[in-house]
Amino acid sequence: MMTGQLRVIASSGSPALAQASDFSSVPKLTAAGVSKVFNGRHAIDDVSFIVRERELVAVLGPSGAGKTTLFRCMTGLLAPDRGTVRIGGDDISLLRGRERRRVAVVFQQFNLVSRLTALENVLAGRLGYVPAWRGWLRRFTRSDRALALECLDRVGLLDRATQRADTLSGGQQQRVAIARALAQRPSLIVADEPVASLDPNAGTGVLDLLHGIARTDGVGVICSLHQVHFARAYADRIIGLSHGRVVIDVPTSSFDQAAFENLYGPQAAGGPADSNA
Amino acid sequence: MASSPECVLDEMEAMRRGFTVRRIRFWFISALVIAFYAVSWNLADIDLHKLATGLPRLGHWIATAWPPKLDEVPLFAYRTAETVAMAAIGTTLATLLAIPMCILASRNITPWPALYFPARWFLNALRGIDSFVFALLFVAAVGLGPFAGVLGIALHTWGSMAKFFADHIESANLGPFEAVRTTGAGRLTTIAYALVPDVLPVLLSTALFWWEFNVRASTVLGVVGAGGIGQELKNSMDLLDFSRLFTIIAVILIVVTALDQLSGWLRKRLV
């Protein structure tokens, strides 16, 4: 958190504090009273929060808390029963076709096209911009290819551009997926458990990237996580989801032991649990 | 309490030993299977005595098959080439027709879910009718010759292939499809970008397999007048000219084996 603030301050020459608060004033995503019912049970219930520009928001919560449902609502893959999700000022359920490019999604399972090269996977991020026939033939303009290579360079994989996606390691595949999201020039990146399938080192690399993108590209990043220490290290704000409801929405510095126990229950606090309870 | 693994194991064993319902069911199913084979044996008119008297006759024919009719081999080669060509055109036609149909018949990517079941029924109907039967119909419609065979092969293979492709797509991992869709790409663009690269090798390999299969299957199409080597086969049989018959069979075997090898090699390179 602190290092992130410092980086912003260092990169801008003007009065730092005012600038920083200005940056975080533009809402990129606004969820208002979002509910979704499955089989008579609320998967998410009256969920409201805001993700601002240059902000990385982590969503924490035990399994079954409704994180997946919430994320599918935020990507427009699922329509909420009540409430709205707004991207900038527009209702996401009305973002049809090409307009969907404004929200980029990073998945737990990377979801690269395995037989295509890293570069071709990144170029998929341009499909919301180019005429359909270019997508069909995978023929992109020079400027699109240059942009895609720049994105690959940003995730440190320029030298892997022509390598097939399924020959890359998990961490590399997730970085290609992030490059694909970048090529989309989104205003919001939604990352659903982006490090859950990665080893700790690869996970750190991925979160470093997402954090840096939030800061330098002026996008909002919302990211669900299982590891609390990752959230503490990289998030500006932490939202806690429990039984489909937002129970915590605080700056990371305020996410203390009490908040942690509130979210995961007292047993999870640490130390071996009593198995003969 | 019955909470130790030992106790649970004892309970499971006791249950297995005591269960007479299970035993009754076993004997009932056994009786059904035996009855099924008894009825089938009867319907199939199995007569081992006929086989015993027929085998020596077959042996006699084989004995008269030598020497082979080498002077007619160019004709047989031409007719076999006709068969291979029929299978190739028919299979290619079927593949091209199967591509749009398999999208309609895949529950997970079809743009028109309402057409899913009609598409499946249509494919099942095509698949249910053998190329031989189709060829019979087309001989009546377009006349004798290989063209009727091509149409027969194309229709039956269309159904089989599209169903196979659709099943393959329905079980494919749709993660990449979903991911590409969220970039703002249209549905068809997404199919072309995310699905085709993964499915194409399987598709080509299946097409090769069907070509090879259709070469073997269409050797008999000539019997109903739909062109190819089958016509010569039938003529020889009618004339009881066994040296000619066995020469034809030898030619078919050589060509089919060579194609087997070729398509096997190609398919290994594809996947």
Percent of chain B predicted with pLDDT > 90: 35
Dig out the tokens for B52 from the structure.
Answer: 């015993």
B229-249: average pLDDT: 88
pLDDT in tens, B123-147: 999 999 998 899 889 988 888 888 9
ipTM score assigned to the predicted complex: 0.82
Fold (CATH) for B71-270: MetI-like fold (1.10.3720)
Contacts of A124 in chain B (CB under 8 A): 179-180, 183, 185, 193-194
* B194 in A contact zone (CB under 8 Å): yes
Q: Which of A74, A78, A115, A182 to mutate to test the interface with B (most CBs of B within 10 A)?
A: A115
Determine the pLDDT at residue A25.
60
A220 forms bridges with which residues in the sheet? A188
Cβ within 8 Å, pair B183-A97: no
Q: Does B145 touch chain A (CB under 8 A)?
A: no
CB contact under 8 A, A124 and B179: yes
A267, A264, A229: which is closest to A58 by C-alpha? Answer: A229
Say which residue, A13 or B164, is predicted with more confidence. B164
Nearest CA in chain A to B201: A115
Closest in B178, B183, B190 to A101, CB measured: B183
Which class for B270: exposed (0-12), middle (13-18), buried (19 or more C-beta within 10 A)? middle
pLDDT at B89: 94
Helical packing angle, B73-104 and B196-217, nearest 10°: 140
Task: Give the CATH number, domain containing residue A186.
Answer: 3.40.50.300
Q: A55 lies in a domain?
A: yes
Backbone angles phi, psi at A240, to 5 degrees: -105, 130
Give how many domains chain A has, as a whole number.
1
Where do the domains of chain B lie?
1-45, 71-270
User: Consecutive 10-residue runs of chain A (277 residues): their mean pLDDT?
Assistant: 39 38 67 89 90 92 88 88 88 83 92 94 95 93 95 94 94 95 94 91 92 91 92 93 90 87 72 36
The whole-number pLDDT of residue A258 equals 84
Question: Among candidates A243, A249, A250, which has minimal Cα distance to A264?
Answer: A243
Inside any domain, residue A31: yes
Confidence of residue B263 (pLDDT cuts 50, 70, 90): confident
Q: What are phi and psi of B6, to 5 degrees?
A: -60, -50
- Pair of tokens at residue B136: 């019979």
Helices (H), ranges, B105-227? 116-128, 131-142, 146-170, 175-181, 187-190, 196-217
So what's the pLDDT on residue A275?
A: 36
Q: Which residues of B touch A174 (CB under 8 A)?
A: none
Pairwise CB contact (< 8 Å): A177 & B179: yes
**To which residue do tokens 């890359």 refer?**
A168
- Residues of the domain holding A117: 27-264
Half-sphere exposure of B22 (CA within 13 A, CB side): 5
Q: Cβ contact (<8 Å) for A124 and B185?
A: yes
Domain assignment present for residue A276? The answer is no
Q: Do you find a cis peptide bond into B100, omega within 30 degrees of 0?
A: no
Search chain A and give the residue with CA nearest B186: A97
Q: Which residues of B160-193 are buried (b: 16+ CB within 10 A; e: fewer)?
A: bbbbbbbebbeebebbbbbbbbbbbbeeebbbbb
- Calculate how close chain A gets to B155, using CA atoms only, in Å: 28
The percentage of residues in chain B with a pLDDT greater than 70, rounded to a whole number, is 98
Residue A219 lies in a domain: yes
pLDDT of residue A277: 32
The answer to whether B271 faces chain A, any CB pair under 8 Å, is no
Q: Does the residue A7 lie in any domain?
A: no
Do residue A132 and residue B186 have CB atoms under 8 angstroms apart? yes
Of B179, B183, B189, the CB nearest to A136: B189
Other C-beta atoms closer than 10 Å to the C-beta of A38 total 11
How many helices and strands in chain A, by DSSP H and E? 10, 10
Give the pLDDT confidence score for residue A272 in this predicted structure: 37
For B76-123, the pLDDT digits (tens) are 999 899 899 999 999 999 999 999 999 999 998 888 899 999 999 999
Query: Is residue A131 within 8 angstroms of chain B, CB to CB?
Result: no
Q: What is the pLDDT of residues B12-41, one digit of tens each?
A: 887 776 677 778 888 999 999 999 999 999
CA–CA dist A73, A92 (Å, integer): 9
Are the C-beta atoms of A135 and B180 separated by less than 8 Å? no
Q: In the sheet where A41-52 sits, what is the strand order? A: A41-52, A27-38, A82-87, A90-91
Q: Which amino acid does the sequence have at A46?
A: D
Nearest to B193 by CA among A96, A147, A137, A182: A137
